[in-house]
A = this chain, B = another copy of it.
Amino acid sequence: MSTTSLSLDDIQALAQSALVANGCDADNAGAVADIVTRAERDGSHSHGLFRIPGYVKALRSGKVNGNARPRLSHRSPAILHVDGDGGFAPLAQATGLSALADAAHQIGVAALSLTNIHHFAALWPETEFLAERDLAGIACTAYMPSVAPAGSTEKLFGTNPISFAWPRPGKAPVCYDMATAAMAMGDVMIAARDGKSVPPGTGLDAEGNPTTDPALIAKGVLLPFGGYKGSAISLMVELLAAGLTGEAFSYEAAIRDNHDGGPPRGGEMVIALSPALLAGPGWEDHVEGFMDRLTALEGVRVPGARRHANRKDTGPRAINAELVETIRALI
C-alpha cells in the first residue's frame, strides 16, 4: 500500500473540502472533518478519511442534509434530546453534549437521545468529551443489520458499538469504543481492501458457513463477539440506541435507507454519570488505587491508551494514497 503524508491540518482541510464541495455548509462539514481528523490523529484509520467517500455518497444522493440545524430540547432536567435535522451526527453531538455534561454535573445522571442523525464515526469522541469533564459516559448506536444474534445465521443486529469512558483527572481517561460484532464492519472492509484474512469466529458467508475471508463476510453476516453473552450486549445496544430513542432499529434503518453507501438514518443514546455526586469526595484517589493495580499487571493495556499515545505525535500521518486520490477526485 503506497501512502501519502498529510499533516493533521491537511487531513482536516481535505475532509472539509470534500464535504463542502458536495453540499455541506461550513458548520456541518467542520464538525465531521473534526471527527475524521481526530480519528486519524489517534490512529483509528477505519473511522478517518476512509469514511469520507461514504459521507459524500450520502450528500450526493440527497439522503443527508448538509445544512442541518440540530435542535436541542430538555424533556426533563435529566433528559436531553437533539433532533439532528437529517444531518450527520457530529454537529448534533456538538449541539447536545455540553448540555448533557451540565445536566449530569447538576443532577448526577443524565441521558441524551439523538434522533434523525446519520452516524458514521467512532463513539469515543462522545464519551471522551464527558470523561474530560469528570463524568463517566456510555454511548451506543445501531446501524444496518450485519450481525446474526447468537444461535442464528440471519443478520438482525447492527455492529452495534458501545463506548464507555471513565474520567481520570490529570490523566488520559479510560475510554473504549468497540463493536459488539466480533469485528467492526469498518475493519472487515479494510481487511478486504488490503487482501487480509480475519480470525475464525468473525462471521459467516452468505450461505451461513464460517469463513475467514472478509470479502465473503461483507456479503454474509458478522457474528457477535463472545457468543451468547456478546449477543446479549449487542441486544442491549440495539434497545438503547433504537428502543430508547424511538429511532430506527438496524432492520428499520436498512428498510428505509436508499443504499447509497453512506450511513443510514438512526439514533444514538449517550448516558452521563457523575462520580463526584454518586461516590462523593475522594472518588479520584479511590479509582486510581484500582487503576494502579490494573496497570501493574503484565500484558494488560488500559483501554484507549494506544489512541492516547498516538495522539501525542502531532506530525504528519501516512494515509493510503489511493484513498487520498479518491477523495481529491470528489472535490
Contact = CB atoms under 8 A, between A and B. Distances in A.
Contact of A109 (B78, B148, B245, B252): B78
A59 interface: no
Interface string A243-257: 111100101100000
Interface in A40-71: none
Contacts of A121: none
A216 interface: no
B154 A244 contact: no
How many identical chains are in the complex?
Answer: 2
Contacts of A297: 148-149, 151-152, 154, 156
Contact of A111 (B108, B151, B289): B108
Contacts of A76: 106-108, 277
A290 B238 contact: yes
Interface residues of A, number: 71
A192 interface: no
Interface stretch (A11-19, A83-91, A298-306, A313-321): A298-306
A119 B246 CA distance: 35
Contacts of A293: 156, 249, 251
Interface of A: 75-79, 81, 106-111, 113, 136, 138, 148-154, 156, 164, 166, 174, 176, 178, 180, 225-227, 229-230, 232-233, 235-236, 238-240, 242-246, 249, 251-252, 269, 271, 273, 275, 277-280, 282-283, 286-287, 289-290, 293-294, 297-301, 303
